Structures are given as structure tokens and as C-alpha cells.
Amino acid sequence: MEAASSTRTHIALVSVPAFSHQVSILEFAKRLLHLHNDDTFHVTCIIPTLSSLSTPSKPFFHTLPPNIHCIFLPSVHFDDLKSNGVSLEIQLQLSVSRAMPSVRDTLRSLLGSANVVALIADAMVPEALEFGKELNILSYIYFPCSTMLLSLCLHSPTLHEEVSCEYRDHPHLIQIPGCISIYGKDLPNSVQDRSSLDYKLFLKRCQRYRGVHDGILVNSFVEMEEEATKAITQNGISNGDDVGDAHSNYPPIFQIGPIIQTGPSDPKIGCECLLWLDKQPRNSVLYVSFGSGGTLSQEQINELALGLELSKHKFLWVNLRAPNDKASATYFVGDGLVDDPLSFLPLGFLERTKGQGLVISGWAPQVEVLGHESVGGFLTHCGWNSVLESVVHGVPMMAWPLFAEQRTNAALVTDGLKVAVRPKGDTSGKSVVVKEEVAELVKRLMEGLEGGEIRRRMKDLQKFAACAVMEDGSSTRTLSKLAQKWKSLGRFYQKNIECGN
């Protein structure tokens, strides 16, 4: 990719070694450039790595605009984290922390050759903002998740003092400012064991969020999470109730979503499923995908398959992976797909469902699938990227959360927005959703009065999402104001350079 021009306003991004995070922050960069197509901005994204790029991610990076330059740092030492069996969150957090000296060196070299005015770091690496202070540039967090989760993060130091037991054992619903109240078991994985390193790192990140001076960019939009937005922007006051002085130091937030993956997909990926969808009736297919890293146990694969068969509804099941009792087993390994689903699907399942469904072990172009007129529902792990893609395309959801913050997202879309149905039990591997419940949920989502109401609410939310990113939409106005601020600083710095200051 071309080197940055010194006359452009330069923005530096810091991501993490997880493709879903990289997609989100780079799509933000693409949105910024799209709004200012006068060649004003150049973006450099610094990406710590754990291994080589996965096959499905390569087309995404190869099609980035020339004004976006990615620097992939050398892989950090990682084997000790995997071999010790530490959680996904700790693996991600500690591996990125080990890359911080390289991030700092890269930023310093950028400042020596480019007009850098702002640093924007992924929410998993708030420590990178220390380099922004050191280098005297604006510093922001890019929060690729919901405003509800951000409200929880900002409130967590207070919540830690208010609740003494494990959250999953708390007898009452957990109050999150400006949001629906949820059960403790639906809080993110990282807070489920208060004695764990996971929890300590989570609280440390939350404290750092409170100290972000220039602001937090959130991949959501006001119209979807209005009360959560108010709870943060009004210093913790929501619905007229003061929730405490501890909230008075909340940073400014900027709602800039929905940001989802855009651009052409690899023509070699997904041809089979798109051709199959072309032959199906409108709104007739349930799309099933557990994202880039989700895995199910053998028993759960069997029950899900048999439940889909029992429902009699059409389905498209993609990214099928080998059974694993650990829900996030392939999160860091994007190529961990199996070649032959016949080896672990129920005996005779594919033959019996021929014509009813299609199962593929490979990747699918998810945005194109969700935008296809034959898709009428989405069984999803509730990663935030997938939730927003479903909202943008107006597809109702069956929430099947597996790990990380996915249960919190599932509570939001099911109990808050009411655009999803959800199994009664724990879907992250501690219990099994049996085939009869799977079939019942599919029918509730795809047919009848309840399914119709969910579809209507989702179509309304889809309209709000479209409005937010229109020329005069709420998110577009917010991002435009930020861009103008950055451009003004860029012109100021450039003038000083030309004057020899």
C-alpha cells in the first residue's frame, strides 16, 4: 500500500489479533474516508498478531482503500497462554499487552513522518492510549460492542462495591444504568469469577475507560439504545434517577454505528449457498452461523441438527466446525473448519433433509446471505457484528450466545429490543438445548403471531439503522463533527510544519 502523504490528516488505529475486532475498526476507517472522499485522511492500523492471516480474512485486507495502511506487527510469544489453559479473554488481553512496546515504537515512527492528529485504540487495549498522551495527540477508545455493554463497563467499579457475591448467584436482577436489568448469569464471561485474573483485568479496563479524556467511539446508534446513551452522557442520570456520584467522570461518547462489513466478498466463497438461496421462497430460510470461533459439543450438534429437521422449516447452516466442549475453541484459528460434516452430523441427517436444508463446513458471505430475500431468520451466537448485520438487513434472530459478552447481547435483543427468541437454558456448553425446544423456537420465530410481531419490530429497527447513517443521520453527523475537528488539527499542524515550528 502507498505511504501516507504528509499533507493528509493522519489517524492511527490500534486493533487486536481477532478478525471480528479488526473488521469493525477498519470498517469505521472506511466510513470515515467515504464521508471525506476528497483525499483528506490517511489511516494507519497497527495490528498485533498471533499467527498468519486466516484464509477467509485475506480478501478483506486485500480490498481495503489505498488510504488505509495496515501494519502487522511480528507475532508475540503466545504458547504459554494456550498451554496453561487460560481463558479466551486473558489470552487476548495478555498477548496484546506483550505487543505494546512494538505498538509504541510504530507510533513514534509514524509521528516522525506523518501528520498524526489522533490515536484510536480498540477497547481491549486501552493501555495504548498512554502513548497518545506521551505523543501529545488526541486519544480515543473504539468500542466495537453495544452501548449497553459500555454502560455496564463504566458502572462495573461501582457495581463491584455494591454486590459482594458472585454475580451469577446474586438473588436480584443486575441494574445497568439506562438499560434493561439482567440476571447475573447473563453478564460477560470475564465477570463470572470475581477471584479470577479475567475479572481483575476487566475491572482494570473499565477504570481506564472512565479516564479516557477525548472520548469513546461506540459502534451503535442512538435510536437503538437511547436510554443507555442518556445514562452515560448525562453523567449517570437516567429516567430522572441519580445513580451516583461515581458516574460524574464518565467520558464523552460518540455513537457512530451501525458499522458492518461492506464491499465485495471473495467470489470463491459462498457461491453454493447463494445459489441455493436463489431457489428458496421469500423469508423461508433460517440462517444458522456461530461466527468465526464458536463451537458446539457433539451432543449439542446432534440436538440442533435434529431440531432443525423436526421444525420442517428450511435452513442454511454454515461454518460448521468439529465438535468441541469449549465454546470458543477456534476463536483465534479462523481456518479451523472441517471438510466433512458427515463425520459428526446425525446419521442420515443430510439425506433426510435434502431439499429442506443445506449444511456447509466452509465460510459464507454473511452480509450477502442476510441481505438475501429468502432469509427470514438468523440463529446467531450474538456477536455484536452479527447482531448489527441482522439489524441492518431486518432479519429477526434466534439468540444462541456462547462466550464473551454474547449473553449480554442476547438479553438486549431478546428482552430489551424484543427482536429475538432465545432458548431457556445455558447455550454456552453447560447444558444442552434439546431438539424439541430447537424446533419450537424455530417455529416461534418463523411463523405465527409472535414471529410476525418480532419481524415488525425488527423492520422498524432496520429503518432507524438506515436513517442513522444517512447524510443527515445521527451517526453521520457525529462522525462528521469528529472528522472536522481532526481536519482542523491537521491543517494547524501542517501550517506549523510549513512555518518551521
> What residues act catalytically?
21, 122
Strands 237-238 and 241-242: antiparallel
Asked if 379 and 395 count as a contact pair (C-beta separation under 8 A), the reply is no
Q: Cβ contacts of residue 279 below 8 Å, gap of 6+?
A: none
Closest CA to 477 of 485, 487, 466, 469: 469
**What nine digits make up the cell of 208?**
481506564
Biggest CA-to-CA distance, the chain? 76
What is the rounded CA–CA span in Å between residue 141 and residue 13? 10
Distance of CA 462 to the CA centre of its chain: 18
Asked whether 44 and 2 are in contact (CB, 8 A), the reply is no
Distance in angstroms (rounded) separating the CA atoms of residues 229 and 297: 38
Per the structure block, which three cell numbers stand in for 415? Answer: 428482552
Contacts of 407 (CB under 8 A, 6+ apart): 185, 186, 187, 188, 382, 401, 428
Q: Between the CA of residue 80 and those of 36, 62, 84, 99, 200, what are the distances in Å?
A: 44, 32, 6, 15, 20
* Kind plus residue range of the DSSP H or E element containing 437: helix 435-446
Cell digits of residue 39: 483525499
- Helices 384-392 and 19-35, packing angle to 10 deg: 50
- Sign of the torsion angle spanned by Cα atoms 465, 467, 470, 476: negative
